[in-house]
């Protein structure tokens, strides 16, 4: 009986002799560890989008200030995404800003083509505000066209850079910006120059028609963000911000002191912080 028990014990122990693993079936090979699909520390960045990414009104009135851009700027107060990821020298040498003030989603494919020419490891996208900020609510970009243009932009990038990562920011809450900015008399005067008239025109008008107009713009922004989320979800190297920018409650200190609508340097810093947190997260 003892001999039988000993044989069983020795037979079981034999599987671990020398600390090895059970032999693989004949013809199989050990698989090399696959690199993660999402690299949390890319070495180069290209930014595409609209006036927010150009730092519009962050430094001087009615002017771009790319130095203060949340994505690629070098302003120490902003501590841009590029600086956080690449360091100051790296940001200066390996980040590029192709955003344009006034750009809409229809302009994104061309910007993507320009960005792709640099071969960046990460492309940041923040666009859609101008698609809602039109002369009137009826002039806003349709949801169908918005989707088609974003898909075209992604296809343009993927045609040359299939492995480049894409970070997509949600469109900010324009109604929230109106609500904050309308408390400043100077800001409302600048709004009359034509900044986002579909939302900001007649800022103090609380009639039924004005409320309906603003609500329709807000609904369109929500629909745009849904498109950004859905299209991005189809690409395994794309991360949407999960509506983090849309949900962020910008205060007056984080809005431009010239138009009380675009982000100030403090607001740009918050955008950089949101992007950095999403991009470096282990999971989307």
The residue among 96 and 24 whose pLDDT is bigger is: 96
Q: How many domains does the chain have?
A: 1
Q: Stretch 211-230: mean pLDDT, rounded?
A: 98
Task: Tell me how far apart the alpha carbons of residues 109 and 90 are, in angstroms, rounded to a whole number.
Answer: 26
Buried/exposed code over 94-103 (b: 16+ C-beta within 10 A; e: otherwise): bbbbbbbbeb
**Distance of alpha carbon 154 from the chain centroid:** 14
Residue 30 lies in a domain: no
Residue 16 lies in a domain: no
Give 214's DSSP letter.
H
Distances (CA, A) of 231 to 57, 96, 173, 182, 226: 30, 24, 20, 34, 9
Spatial CA neighbour of 133 closest among 179, 184, 206, 191: 191
Residue 56 half-sphere exposure toward CB, CA atoms < 13 A: 16
Residue 136 lies in a domain: yes
Q: Which two tokens stand for residue 218?
A: 């807000």
- Best mean pLDDT range from 2-16, 104-118, 173-187, 250-264: 104-118
Residue 255 lies in a domain: yes
Look up the pTM and report it.
0.86
Confidence of residue 28 (pLDDT cuts 50, 70, 90): very low
Query: For the chain, where are the alpha helices, taking DSSP H only?
Result: 2-13, 81-94, 108-116, 129-132, 143-158, 174-181, 185-191, 197-200, 208-233, 244-247, 265-280
Q: Stretch 93-114: mean pLDDT, rounded?
A: 98
At residue 13, the pLDDT reads: 38
Spatial CA neighbour of 48 closest among 116, 141, 132: 116
Q: Is the pLDDT of residue 283 over 90?
A: no
Q: Which of 22-31, 184-193, 268-277 has the lowest mean pLDDT?
A: 22-31
The CATH number assigned to the domain holding 132 equals 3.40.50.1110
Helices 108-116 and 143-158 cross at an angle (nearest 10°) of: 10
At residue 187, the pLDDT reads: 85
Confidence of residue 37 (pLDDT cuts 50, 70, 90): confident
Residue 19 lies in a domain: no
Residue 3 lies in a domain: no
Residue 20 lies in a domain: no
Average pLDDT of the chain, as a whole number: 90
Range of the domain at 131: 39-280
At residue 33, the pLDDT reads: 53
């Amino acid at each position: 009986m003892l001999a039988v028990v000993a044989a069983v014990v020795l037979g079981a122990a034999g599987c671990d002799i020398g600390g090895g693993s059970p032999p693989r079936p004949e013809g199989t090979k050990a698989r090399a560890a696959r690199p993660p699909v999402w690299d949390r520390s890319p070495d180069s960045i290209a930014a595409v989008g609209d006036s927010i990414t150009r730092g519009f009104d962050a430094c001087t009135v009615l002017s771009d200030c790319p130095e203060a851009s949340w994505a690629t700027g070098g302003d120490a107060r902003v501590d841009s995404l590029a600086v956080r990821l690449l360091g100051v020298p790296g940001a200066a040498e390996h980040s590029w800003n192709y955003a344009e003030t006034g750009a809409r989603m229809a302009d994104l494919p061309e910007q993507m083509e320009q960005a792709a020419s640099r071969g960046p490891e990460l492309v940041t996208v923040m666009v859609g505000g101008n698609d809602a900020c039109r002369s009137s609510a009826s002039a806003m970009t349709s949801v169908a066209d918005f989707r088609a243009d974003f898909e075209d932009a992604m296809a343009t990038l993927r045609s040359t850079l299939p492995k480049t990562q894409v970070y997509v920011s949600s469109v900010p809450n324009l109604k929230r910006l109106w609500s904050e900015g309308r408390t400043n008399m100077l800001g409302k005067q600048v709004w009359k120059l034509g900044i986002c008239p579909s939302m900001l025109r007649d800022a103090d008008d609380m009639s039924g028609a004005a409320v309906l107009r603003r609500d329709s713009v807000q609904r369109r922004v929500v629909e745009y963000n849904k498109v950004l989320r859905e299209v991005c979800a189809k690409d395994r190297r794309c991360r949407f911000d999960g509506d983090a920018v849309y949900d962020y409650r910008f205060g007056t200190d984080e809005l431009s002191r010239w138009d009380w609508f675009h982000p100030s340097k403090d607001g740009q810093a918050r955008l950089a912080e949101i992007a950095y947190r999403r991009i470096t997260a282990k999971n989307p």
